[in-house]
Amino acid sequence: MEMHNFICGLPKAELHLHIEGSLEPEMMFALAQRNGVTLPYASVEAVRAAYNFSDLQSFLDLYYAGAAVLQTEQDFYDLTAAYVQRARADNVCHAELFFDPQTHTERGVPMATVFAGIARALRDAREQHGFSSRMILCFLRHLSEEEALATLEAALPLREAYADLWIGVGLDSGEVGNPPEKFSRVFAKAREFGLHAVAHAGEEGPPPYVWGALDALKAERIDHGVRSEEDPELMRRLASDNVPLTVCPLSNLKLRVVKDLREHNLARLLRAGLCVTINSDDPAYFGGYMNNNFLATAEALQLSREELVQIAGNGFVASFASDQQKQAWLSELHEYVSAH
């Protein structure tokens, strides 16, 4: 089978996806109109033309501005339903979605509205298509730990109502200058409530940020983590503890973490024995959902068929699904591979 079709058909899990980052310009305009919000752009084309980033912060400025069109439960439903449709088209059967409540609560949108809209879309997708998913609440690291604690406090009363979906906390936004240690107490509290912990680290920040995510936050997965390669001792720790990295190649390219995809270290991280996964991060902003990330990376790094199967399998292994569910997905993956 031709490699392109083989990659597209692989069953996949997506573990690093900011739902606000799946807001396509068309929907941004439609929601702006529905909610009477004025956007600083004349057209959908003008929005896309503005997506020319120099680093993480230049992206975050537009990403937070775009999220201002999200106001009602139906807005969050529509956003999430559109993502699920794109993910299913790429043969994603399980997704763990990040969401940033602080981006919305600070504009007066209630926490409950955010949860309700995302969850209703995910439950509909489960019932209608068997699409599996979870939600991971991210704290914005450019804000204070007190604000993160207040966010966790506001979300905890919703825990029972969303027990089937909300399974963890994460840490995102501007990394440099906001080390993981700043959030030690809020992560400890979240873990006490049985929530999983993940954190963005080693995207723009140096290896000590990855150490901090592991040791201060007890992160079970590292989001990005590509700069771990600069520290051999850290590489040994990630390998021996089998800590997955949720790598986002097109994001790294668009935010200039790498100059050229051919220089991306994903293949080296994989060949060093790390549990590397491929993910789309903010697909509406970075030019591609899962299949585009797999295809572009496979081509740029000349990944073998076996390596691509390994990466797809890692997505299931690194997920927070049950062992039984993971085995079922891995069987499905191996059946696909045998048949193609």
In the complex, the residues that contact ligand HPA under the rule CB under 6 A are 18, 21, 56, 63, 172-173, 200, 203, 251, 281-282
Closest CA to 177 of 286, 56, 18: 56
What minimum distance in Å lies between the beta carbon of 224 and ligand HPA? 7
- Among ligand HPA, Zn ion, none, residue 265 binds (CB under 5-8 Å by kind): none
Q: CA 160 to CA 243: how far, in whole Å?
A: 28
- Residue in 203, 204, 220, 307 annotated catalytic: 203
- Among Zn ion, ligand HPA, none, residue 56 binds (CB under 5-8 Å by kind): ligand HPA
Dump strand ranges (E) for the chain: 12-18, 92-99, 132-140, 166-172, 196-201, 221-224, 245-247, 276-278
Q: Which residue's structure tokens are 């140096």?
A: 206
Token pair of 126 as six digits: 């489960």
Which residue blocks in 158-206 are alpha helix, DSSP H? 184-192
What minimum distance in Å lies between the beta carbon of 172 and ligand HPA? 4
- Among ligand HPA, Zn ion, none, residue 73 binds (CB under 5-8 Å by kind): none
**219: DSSP letter:** -
Q: Which is nearer to ligand HPA, 251 or 291 (CB)?
A: 251
Asked if 45 is an active-site residue, the reply is: no
- Residue in the shown chain whose Cβ atom is closest to Zn ion: 281
Q: CA 233 to CA 230: how far, in whole Å?
A: 9
Establish if 96 lies at the interface with Zn ion (CB under 5 A).
no
* Helices and strands (DSSP H and E) totals, the chain: 17, 8
Establish if 204 lies at the interface with Zn ion (CB under 5 A).
no
Establish if 281 lies at the interface with Zn ion (CB under 5 A).
yes
What minimum distance in Å lies between the beta carbon of 159 and ligand HPA? 24
Q: Which is nearer to Zn ion, 151 or 280 (CB)?
A: 280
> Side-chain half-sphere of 167: how many Cα atoms within 13 Å?
14
Asked if 166 and 98 touch (Cβ cutoff 8 Å), the reply is no
Token pair of 172 as six digits: 């995102």
Q: Which is nearer to Zn ion, 93 or 138 (CB)?
A: 138
- Among Zn ion, ligand HPA, none, residue 203 binds (CB under 5-8 Å by kind): ligand HPA
Q: CA 231 to CA 236: how far, in whole Å?
A: 9
Q: Which is nearer to ligand HPA, 20 or 75 (CB)?
A: 20
What minimum distance in Å lies between the beta carbon of 251 and ligand HPA? 5
The DSSP H or E segment spanning 64 is: helix 56-66
What minimum distance in Å lies between the beta carbon of 190 and ligand HPA? 18
The catalytic residues are 203
Name the site residues for Zn ion (rule: CB under 5 A): 281
